[in-house]
């Protein structure tokens, strides 16, 4: 799947609906996610924050109200165009490009808190998980924290594709390179990536009120 084309098309097909543009469930659960990220990263007014794969900025502009400044990075030009429409917060900057080239895109800037929400599944090709985590770490200040939220969990694959028909459809779409879900990650694989970089990685079970807690998990990285 070409994720850049995929998200550019979704943005075009949903010109007026901020929730559908990033395929979120609703406004209420989006605000719940904002509070969840703020709490886990302990975001304060002093923090310089980076939102990786920020989409149309629906979360970025809420986090902006709680921190010193924030940069949102996304490879979809169309979603970033949508992010800029009606944007009121003055402490946000948006940068277009792939998270796989983050440190180059941001000219070596460092951040106190970094998050990537609802997007880690798109790093589905060989070594991309490793590469993107190495890029996140390059952009992190000493004692900073990285939150990776809403990762589909390999062990919970059958809870998402919970009928034979759904599984069959998944395998067919995957063969045709049309699977829209991305990768279901093994926690042990992310643990191994963190170990390789010599940083602390912690699996976080999502609170039940998170809409996708039945098949997704969160992950915290500290250096």
Ligand X SMILES: C[S@@+](CC[C@H](N)C(=O)[O-])C[C@H]1O[C@@H](n2cnc3c(N)ncnc32)[C@H](O)[C@@H]1O
Q: Which residues of the chain form contacts with ligand X (CB under 6 A)?
A: 3, 7, 22-24, 53-55, 58-59, 74-76, 79, 98-100, 117-119, 122
CB of 81 to ligand X, least distance (A): 12
Q: How far, in Å, CA of 62 to CA of 117, rounded?
A: 13
Of 5 and 200, which CB lies nearer to ligand X in the complex structure? 5
Of 161 and 212, which CB lies nearer to ligand X in the complex structure? 212
Of 200 and 207, which CB lies nearer to ligand X in the complex structure? 207
Residues with Cβ within 8 Å of 51's Cβ and at least 6 positions away in sequence, in order, are: 57, 59, 60, 63, 70, 71, 72, 73, 115, 116, 117
Of 98 and 103, which CB lies nearer to ligand X in the complex structure? 98
CB 106, CB 95: distance < 8 Å: yes
CB of 83 to ligand X, least distance (A): 9
Please name which of 50, 77, 78 lies closest in space to residue 148, comparing C-alpha atoms. Answer: 50
- By three-state DSSP, how is residue 151 classified? strand
Residues with Cβ within 8 Å of 105's Cβ and at least 6 positions away in sequence, in order, are: 73, 95, 97, 98
Of 16 and 143, which CB lies nearer to ligand X in the complex structure? 16
Among all residues, whose Cβ is closest to ligand X? 55
Q: How far, in Å, CA of 109 to CA of 187, rounded?
A: 29
Instruction: Tell me how crowded residue 149 is: count the other CB atoms within 10 A of its CB.
Output: 24
Of 182 and 203, which CB lies nearer to ligand X in the complex structure? 182
CB of 223 to ligand X, least distance (A): 22
Q: How far, in Å, CA of 103 to CA of 166, rounded?
A: 39
CB of 187 to ligand X, least distance (A): 20
CB of 142 to ligand X, least distance (A): 25
CB of 194 to ligand X, least distance (A): 20
């Amino acid at each position: 799947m070409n994720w850049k084309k995929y998200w550019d098309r979704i943005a075009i097909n949903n010109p007026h609906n901020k929730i559908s543009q990033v395929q979120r469930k609703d406004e209420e659960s989006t605000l719940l996610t904002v509070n969840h990220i703020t709490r886990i990263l302990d975001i304060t007014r002093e923090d310089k924050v980076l939102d990786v794969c920020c989409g149309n900025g629906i979360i970025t502009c809420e986090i902006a109200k709680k921190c010193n400044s924030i940069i949102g990075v996304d490879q979809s030009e169309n979603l970033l165009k949508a992010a800029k429409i009606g944007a009121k917060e003055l402490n946000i900057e948006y940068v277009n490009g792939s998270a796989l080239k983050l440190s180059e895109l941001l000219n070596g800037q460092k951040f106190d808190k970094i998050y990537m929400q609802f997007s880690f599944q798109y790093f589905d090709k060989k070594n991309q998980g490793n590469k993107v985590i190495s890029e996140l770490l390059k952009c992190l200040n000493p004692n900073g924290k990285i939150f990776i939220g809403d990762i589909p969990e390999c062990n919970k694959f059958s809870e998402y594709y919970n009928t034979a028909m759904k599984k069959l459809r998944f395998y067919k779409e995957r063969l045709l390179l049309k699977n829209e879900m991305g990768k279901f990650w093994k926690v042990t694989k992310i643990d191994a990536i963190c170990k390789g970089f010599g940083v602390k990685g912690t699996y976080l079970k999502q609170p039940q009120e998170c809409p996708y807690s039945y098949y997704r998990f969160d992950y915290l990285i500290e250096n």
